[in-house]
Structure 1
Amino acid sequence: MQLIWQYLRLIRFPMTFAPVGAFVVGIIQSQKRWPSSPDELISIVAIFFLSAGTLAYNGYEDRDIDARKGEPFAKLHPKVALFVAIISFSIGTALSRMASVKIVLLFLFFVLAAVLYSRVCVKIPVLKNVLAALLSAFLILFGATVGSSVNIFNLLTTLVIFFAIMAMEIVKDVEDIEVDRGFRITLPHLMPMSHIRITVAFCITGAISIGFIFPSRTVPFIILYAIASAAFMMAVLRLPNRLTPEIDHVPRKLIYVGLWIGLMAFLAPVL
């Protein structure tokens, strides 16, 4: 049981399911039905292991920073963390090969981009935020490609995820400003909090505005997207006026909640 718990900690469970959820949303929007074919189901399991590998490898690269956050396992056992990442990547890639050549190529691209992010880009301000948002958003397109083909629902949902994750990544940098100090430079080290608030507000506005051009605004969509928009706006309002060592996690949690409610809204017209 302890080994299972350590494995779950290394893959940052339950965060592992967030990429899986976005991937499934892409399939559903593309097919206008729940995933059911063998290729789709195998791909969902594969993306879980690729997500696990990505988070484990990120933990391996960030082991010194995570230790300062109270998660010292990867720092104490770096070889175990790296082994878990490699095994998870290998299982995910092997499963994707069972589906199709197209799928394994898409997944290999995802693995390479995830490793590049954790190894290099996470140390570069702005680029780390953009790449994290792109990786998260592209999961919708990956799911759509596995399902059938990319449609307007997929494209608009991809934009919403990009803007929301971009905002969430910036807010996370604000929360982590002290633990990041000495290890990497992030936006809060370069910009005053007033500019951070404007940048986050811009990203949130981008996410909310997509709803106004969504082609199928049903009553369930309007209700769910209104709730999501309210959560997004509350997140911006809860941001502090200045940087302090102790910043609560409420704004990031509100963006996260708003994002998933927004995804439910985007699913409502196609189910």
Structure 2
Amino acid sequence: MNKEERAENWFRNIPGEEKIPMEKKMELCGRVTIPIIVICLGIFIAEYALLRFFGGGTLIDRAADFVNEMARAKGREHYTTLALIGAIMMCPLAVLPVTASTLYRRSWLSKQAEKILVDLPKQNGTEQGKRKEENARQSPVNLGSISWRVEADGTVLNGFREDKLTEALQKMQRGEMEFLIFTPNRALPVEESTDCCDFLQLCEDENPEYLHFELSLVNPAVWEGRVIYGKDRVSVTEAEELLLRVFARQSVPSIDSFEPVLNLRK
């Protein structure tokens, strides 16, 4: 029996156990194992002491003599019989330790499960609060009449405005920024094309005086695969004009001046 099987077995019939994560179940089972062993050993020692105290240990001596007589015989079947008899003789002594340890285990696990179930709403509330904070940190910004997600080098730019566009492009031209990505909340139509644009990206050009502009186009009929179109030697002014036009018209102008740089369609 592995740890998961033990956890499933020990938590069976405990109210609310299906809401407790398996990792937590295994942790609790590991914590209760040592007390169970201590309880079993303690009761076995107490039983042995009582048998020695009452009757002077006569019962234990008789049982030992009986086992020794059986042990003098030989043969494989004899050893099997001897082991079976020994197990039967130990059964009365094992009933109390097993029962006590089982009751303790169930009681302790039930109390721990109650504590966890009480704390779950608080934990869920904390996680939801964290998600809300994360969403707030990554909330889209309105550029034109639709929402956009703006990222710079992997960081979401909250509160990004059109009047900050020139500054961002100039930072890129100076090498202070590597990537600037604009992702609309819906794919935008492309003039003179059946494809749609799902994000625009700018990065440094080989010539430090210019920028490299890229568009990602997808087929709205299947939404599988995309083609990345790129254009080199784009000035800051040209890039700004193109982006402002996209923001205002909610569409991408003709890409005749762009060239495919990556085709991910089958």
TM-score range, shorter chain: under 0.3
Q: Given the two structures, how large is their TM-score scaled by the length of structure 1?
A: 0.20
Higher relative CO (CA 8 A, sep ≥ 6), structure 1 or 2? 1
- Structure with greater helix percent: 1
